[in-house]
Chain A
Amino acid sequence: GENVEQHPSTLSVQEGDSAVIKCTYSDSASNYFPWYKQELGKGPQLIIDIRSNVGEKKDQRIAVTLNKTAKHFSLHITETQPEDSAVYFCAASPYNAGKSTFGDGTTLTVKP
Chain B
Amino acid sequence: EAQVTQNPRYLITVTGKKLTVTCSQNMNHEYMSWYRQDPGLGLRQIYYSMNVEVTDKGDVPEGYKVSRKEKRNFPLILESPSPNQTSLYFCASSVRTAFEQYFGPGTRLTVT
A residues engaging B (CB < 8 A)?
Answer: 1, 6, 9, 32, 34, 36, 42-46, 49, 89, 91, 93, 95-105
A46 / chain B contacts, CB cutoff of 8 Å: 100-102
Are A103 and B48 CB-contacts (below 8 A) given A1-B59, A46-B100? no
Among B41, B97, B105, the one with the most A-chain Cβ atoms within 10 Å of its Cβ is B97
B100 / chain A contacts, CB cutoff of 8 Å: 34, 46, 49
Query: What distance in Å separates the Cβ of B28 from its nearest Cβ neighbour in chain A?
Result: 18
Q: Which one of A6, A44, A93 lies within 8 Å of B98 (CB-CB)?
A: A93
Q: Which 3 A-B pairs have the closest CB atoms?
A: A43-B103, A100-B98, A104-B42
Interface range on chain B (Cβ under 8 Å from partner): 20 to 34
B residues engaging A (CB < 8 A)?
Answer: 4, 31, 33, 35, 40-45, 48-50, 56, 58-59, 90, 92, 96-106
Query: What distance in Å separates the Cβ of B96 from its nearest Cβ neighbour in chain A?
Result: 8
B42 / chain A contacts, CB cutoff of 8 Å: 6, 89, 102-105
B97 adjacent to A43 (CB under 8 Å)? no
A97 to B50, CA, bound (A): 9
A96 to B99, CA, bound (A): 8
B106 adjacent to A100 (CB under 8 Å)? no
Q: Which one of B48, B103, B104 lies within 8 Å of A98 (CB-CB)?
A: B48
A103 / chain B contacts, CB cutoff of 8 Å: 42
